Amino acid sequence: MIKKRLAGILCHPTSLPSPFGIGDFGQEAYDFIDFLVNAGQSYWQILPLTPVGYGNSPYQSHGAFAGNIYLISPELLQKKGYLTKLQLANPPDLNCDYVEFDRVYKYKNALFQMAYENFKKDPGAIRPFAKFCAENTWLHDFALFESLSEFLGHLPLHDWPKPLFDKEVPALKKYIERLQDEINYRKYLQFEFYSQWDKLKAYANKNEVKIIGDLPIFVSGSSADYWANKELFLKDKDGLPEAVAGVPPDYFSESGQLWGNPLYDFKAQKQNGYEWWVKRFKHNLSMFDIVRIDHFRGFESFWQIPANSKTAIKGKWVKGPGEEFFATIEKELGSLAVIAEDLGIITPEVNKLRENLGYPGMKILHFAFMDGAKSSYLPHNFDDSNTVVYTGTHDNNTTIGWYHELDENIKDFVRRYLRISGDDIAWDLIRLCFSSSANTAIIPIQDLMSLGGEARMNTPGTADGNWGFRFKKEMLSDDIAQGLKYLCELYNR
């Protein structure tokens, strides 16, 4: 349970300034932590740090334990002597307002290959690298999966040759020998990712900033996790997913959202004490101070869609593992520092599960004005201070974009409720977050900068044009820091 009145900023590292086309764990990330300190903020909330999947989404990862290698800072590799200043001197002309993913991947992969060649010549790296590989039992399967995927031209997992799909030992042995250097390269990149992340998190914690991470409930069907652990999932006789995840029609989509992730066989997982989940929570709690559980409602019941469906409409609710699941996890790991993402179609059973567990839920002010004064998202109706309030999340429009798209009668209600003109709506909603009874207030960085809909991070139900938002360093001004600090002092955060 979060008890103190605190505040923080939602900003994924990819959005940070950088000359390499995408934000990373370099100096700008340290500068961002300094900004949080100067602004009186206690939390830095991020999206999943796992490798991105379809549509560059961090919620479609192909490795639940792995890190997104494109967050590795080339400048920090240069400081280690693995790259030269000359190699970093003339980066391509990459967009500073938006991540050009394909160009970034090509450029950074070339840098990483050069760094790897120099890493192999470094005798001082042998022992820490071997220790990292030994401690992370997931690493070999992930590196082998990635190497095979590359070799097979990134075919979907279900199109792999059957001996490889089924992990037959003779076939794997052959390819492990053939791809040994590629496998080691993948392991090296994870070594660098976690080395850089651990130092960045330590700097944040030293400055009394806690990291709120994000744990997506599902993994991709073309992931190392599915490939290596098919027994965890609902599958047919051929080992393919028999049903997939999504949500029924909701606020974001009239046809629902067909995510396509394979669904878990929780009954089978219960037999071994949810061992994979224990490892996953332990891993995430070692990376972050607090973990936001994305789609928490899926542990009470989840929307099960036939695998061959074209939309999410023809699904059904199926009971999840519920309270017993979390009791098992907490028996192994102790009390969990988590936030339950309880958005979407939330039933009394979901609320009861969260309340029984004592986990804080989420309140989104963008949802607060649609149902009049009785809305549970309006601060005067918050019935529990053990909650986290946001203007919006990564799935919402920016506050300015949201406000401009509202019907005139709802805009009028917003203005009357807040006693405002609407001319500074982003900061008006920020003030409402800070003044609420919620123990924790989190603000998306786009709202601090009063950015419009062009700066939106993600539009649910769409595959293209998401996750690329970036900002320039000068946009995060001292005036913004002082404004946040003032609100913290004013509302005891």
Q: List, by residue number, the catalytic residues.
A: 294, 341, 395
Q: Give the helix/strand (H/E) hosting 174.
A: helix 169-178
Pick the closest to residue 472 from 126, 67, 96, 103 (CA basis): 96
Q: Are 290 and 204 in contact (CB under 8 A)?
A: no
Cβ within 8 Å of residue 183, ≥6 positions away: 140, 143, 144, 147, 176
- SS3 of residue 213 by DSSP: strand
Question: Sign of the CA dihedral 58, 61, 66, 71?
Answer: negative
Cβ within 8 Å of residue 62, ≥6 positions away: 51, 53, 145, 146, 149, 219, 220, 222, 223, 224, 225
CA triple 477-397-414, angle to 5 deg:
90
Cβ within 8 Å of residue 280, ≥6 positions away: 64, 65, 215
Pick the closest to residue 51 from 29, 69, 73 (CA basis): 69
DSSP result, 427-452:
HHHHHHHHHSS-SEEEEEHHHHTT--
> Cα separation of 239 and 167, whole Å?
11
What is the Cα 299 distance to its own chain's centre? Answer: 18
Rg (CA), the chain: 23
Residue 364 phi/psi, 5-degree rounding, is -115, 120
Q: Are 483 and 47 in contact (CB under 8 A)?
A: no
Pick the closest to residue 192 from 280, 118, 276 (CA basis): 118
SS (H, E, C) 376-399: CCCHHHCCCCCEEEECCCCCCCCH
Residue 211 phi/psi, 5-degree rounding, is -100, 125
Paired with 7 in beta bridges are: 441
Pick the closest to residue 449 from 29, 39, 57 (CA basis): 39
User: What secondary structure letter does DSSP report for 453?
Assistant: G
Q: Are 339 and 293 in contact (CB under 8 A)?
A: yes
Q: Using DSSP bridges, classify how beta strands 6-10 and 210-216 pair: parallel, antiparallel or unpaired.
A: unpaired
> Cα separation of 170 and 433, whole Å?
58
